Structure 1
Amino acid sequence: MKSEWLSRAMDLRLFRIRPAEAYPIVLERRRIFVLPTRSGLLFAFTLFAMLLASINYTLSLGYALTFLLAGVGVTSTFHAYRNLLGIEVSGGHGTPAHVGDMVGFEFSLNEKARRDRFAISVINSEETVVTDLPASSTLHVRLTCRAIRRGPLDAGRIVIETHFPLGLVRAWSVFTPDHTVIVYPAIEREAPSPPRGGEDHDGESSASEGSDDFAGLRGHRDTDSPRQMAWKAIARTDTLISKSFTASAGQQLDLRWFDLPDTLDTEARLSRLTRWVVDAAAQAREYTLTLPDQSIGPGHDATHRDRCLAALALFGMSAHS
């Protein structure tokens, strides 16, 4: 936490970076910084040694070579700075994901100065993308980071840098875009089938399987009733196996927060409801999601699914935005 605070303070003081900047973001002169790399420092030390030797031995050719190489170093600094100057960063869209998955943030790099840009690196906390930017073109860059909690996820601190052309200096710019993606709750891996609308559910009974159509065999769960046990298969394999049943396709699902077992905490309830929403949407089933603070549906299309997942992601948060 202390290192993150220090990094943000340095951004604000040294790089004039606001907490969140609206697109488009233009890399102007005051936003680009240049410092020597390790190779650049070694190059400068070598030039200094050559200068001392030339002075000590009065070498005219030594002076010429030293100042020629120094001119190359200064020129490379100018080209590195110019390689970033004027690039415009505009926002694309983010790829929503579930907790534990990789979230994608897309950016567009726009070149409007009619010159090629080489070896441009776009960096976030977990990934580096290196690319060239042709003259008068737009390039789409996608950065990813792992989602560790549900809710809004900001793109965070982004660095654009280059070591072009000789690697002697590093030119870079730092910005924090106003770019947010919603992270949905994690999907429960072994969730029971959802209850059907119109039935009376209480506690664990909401976790029971439908009983209309036989869907196949699966691993045994603690919530399975004895009638679901596949006794013949258990006798053959010596492994606990249960029968899986599904409700009829036309039956509307009623996914209710209050029908979940009291043993589940908030995040576990959200994970189970997320599993049911995802499965119902994949099967084009009509369903309603009922949370303590709102009810969504009925519906079955992708828009309805996204509304339900967003409501689950923002559940319990002060600002639903």
Structure 2
Amino acid sequence: MFANIRQSVADWIFRAAVPEAPPVTLVQRRIFILPTRQGYFFAFTLLLLLMASINYTLSLGFLLTFLLAAMGGVAMLHTWRNLAHLKLRPGHCPPVFAGETAHFGVTIETPSRTRFAVAIRRRDAEPSYADVELGNVAVVSLPSAAVRRGRVACGRLEIFTRYPVGLFHAWSYFDFGLQVIVYPQPDASAGAPPTQSHGEAEEGIPVPGDDEFNQLRPYHAGDPPRQIAWKALARGQGLLTKEFNATASSEMWFDWNDARALDPESRLSVLCHWVLEAERMGQSYGLRLPGTSIEPGRGDAHRTRCLNALALHGDPKPQ
């Protein structure tokens, strides 16, 4: 109930442009504070003590009541100061594959003393806590389930604290428009990427296969007997295994129509698996999707470009 009241108050007062330009500094007008459930119980107890002291004219009762009230006021001030003037910036939001957990990063800096038990959470999610030390940047990572490909939007975040005694809840809101790109889940059953090129390049590179002899290597347990170099063993060279290669084009194209699958999402999963396998083998590859064509290349930047194209194909709605 108290959380819903705080949400309603902030929704009515807080009107920030989205996304906000970093850094966001928690100035006085951005911080709200209300008693917690324990705080309301504390105030009710003080009221009972005050009424009893008045009724029975208890000097020590007045002393205890006003002493506790003063301590409550000091606690409220410290709770508010634990958030005041903190600087917030967007952190790293690495891409993930569908079915994994996305993480939204937020960094916190303090201009003065150390701040304790500062928490950040998404709406209706569990908070992540951090102590913010002077001179260091605290990094808070907020997890979120990435159910399907596309974009996962973080939404508005709440930063709050109940330090030091839990009688008051001080909070603020901010929104950097954080998003995580979710790639399609690779389909391991798609097998190796097609070795036949659809490009114009003629040079070839070796890939694992059975066409041409490549080299002899030391025997490993489990190698098939037909690949053992028996002649080399007879010459006293030890137990060796013959390794063969096939020749594939130096450029491969992964085409939408080549991914045999029942539905578009399954096709994207097949293409995602081929992209990862080609990158792992150091192969140059291109990607063709309806309305999108990426020229052959290799490397982390090219891999990211292809995976982004697969993740955002058809402009799926943000999660």
Instruction: With the length of structure 2 as denominator, give the TM-score of the two structures.
Output: 0.78
1:23 and 1:178 in contact (8 A); partners too: no
1:271 aligns with 2:273: no
3-state SS of paired residue (1:212): strand
TM-superposed CA distance for 1:79, in Å, is 0.8
Q: 1:155-192: per-residue Cα shift (whole Å, max 9, x none)?
A: 22211111111110111111221222211112223223
Range with bigger deviation, 171-180 or 70-79? 171-180
1:124 aligns with 2:122: yes
TM-superposed CA distance for 1:115, in Å, is 1.6
Aligned pairs (5 A) from 1:29-108: 29-108=28-107
Q: In the superposition, relative to structure 1, how do residues 12 and 40 fare at CA in structure 2: closer, same or farther (>3 Å)?
A: closer
Q: State the partner residue of 2:133.
A: 134
Query: Which sections of structure 2, spanning at least 5 residues, go unmatched?
Result: 200-206, 212-243
Range with bigger deviation, 48-57 or 177-186? 177-186
1:177 aligns with 2:170: no
Q: In the superposition, relative to structure 1, how do residues 314 and 165 fare at CA in structure 2: closer, same or farther (>3 Å)?
A: same
Range with bigger deviation, 63-72 or 248-257? 248-257
3-state SS of paired residue (2:107): strand
1:298 aligns with 2:293: no
| Amino acid aligned to 1:181 | V
Q: In the superposition, relative to structure 1, how do residues 135 and 260 fare at CA in structure 2: closer, same or farther (>3 Å)?
A: closer
3-state SS of paired residue (2:55): helix
1:152 aligns with 2:172: no
1:12 and 1:18 in contact (8 A); partners too: no
3-state SS of paired residue (2:45): helix
2:157 and 2:175 in contact (8 A); partners too: yes
Q: State the partner residue of 2:20.
A: 21
| Amino acid aligned to 2:62 | Y
Q: 2:309 aligns with which of 308, 311, 316?
A: 311
Aligned pairs (5 A) from 1:216-255: 248=247, 251-255=250-254
Query: What is the aligned length?
Result: 273
Q: Distance in 2 between matches of 1:70 and 1:314?
A: 57
The higher radius of gyration belongs to: 2
Q: In the superposition, relative to structure 1, how do residues 111 and 249 fare at CA in structure 2: closer, same or farther (>3 Å)?
A: farther
Q: Distance in 1 between matches of 2:76 and 2:186?
A: 50
Aligned pairs (5 A) from 1:110-121: 110-112=109-111, 114-121=112-119
Q: State the partner residue of 1:242.
A: none
1:96 and 1:183 in contact (8 A); partners too: yes
TM-superposed CA distance for 1:198, in Å, is 3.2
TM-superposed CA distance for 1:275, in Å, is 1.0
Q: In the superposition, relative to structure 1, how do residues 76 and 7 fare at CA in structure 2: closer, same or farther (>3 Å)?
A: closer
| Amino acid aligned to 2:292 | Q
TM-superposed CA distance for 1:10, in Å, is 6.4
2:148 and 2:182 in contact (8 A); partners too: yes
TM-superposed CA distance for 1:307, in Å, is 0.5
Q: Distance in 2 between matches of 1:32 and 1:73?
A: 19
1:297 and 1:304 in contact (8 A); partners too: no
Q: Distance in 2 between matches of 1:213 and 1:300?
A: 25
CA RMSD of aligned residues (A): 2.7
2:96 and 2:181 in contact (8 A); partners too: yes
TM-superposed CA distance for 1:62, in Å, is 0.2
Q: In the superposition, relative to structure 1, how do residues 10 and 297 fare at CA in structure 2: closer, same or farther (>3 Å)?
A: farther
Q: Distance in 1 between matches of 2:9 and 2:183?
A: 32
Q: Distance in 1 between matches of 2:7 and 2:311?
A: 27
1:83 and 1:118 in contact (8 A); partners too: yes
Identity of counterpart residues, as a percentage? Answer: 41
Range with bigger deviation, 126-135 or 92-101? 126-135
3-state SS of paired residue (2:82): helix
Q: State the partner residue of 1:257.
A: 256
Instruction: With the length of structure 1 as denominator, give the TM-score of the two structures.
Output: 0.77
3-state SS of paired residue (2:42): helix
Q: 1:130-167: per-residue Cα shift (whole Å, max 9, x none)?
A: 12112243222222211123223222221111111111
| Amino acid aligned to 2:58 | L
Q: In the superposition, relative to structure 1, how do residues 154 and 247 fare at CA in structure 2: closer, same or farther (>3 Å)?
A: farther
Q: Distance in 1 between matches of 2:245 and 2:272?
A: 18
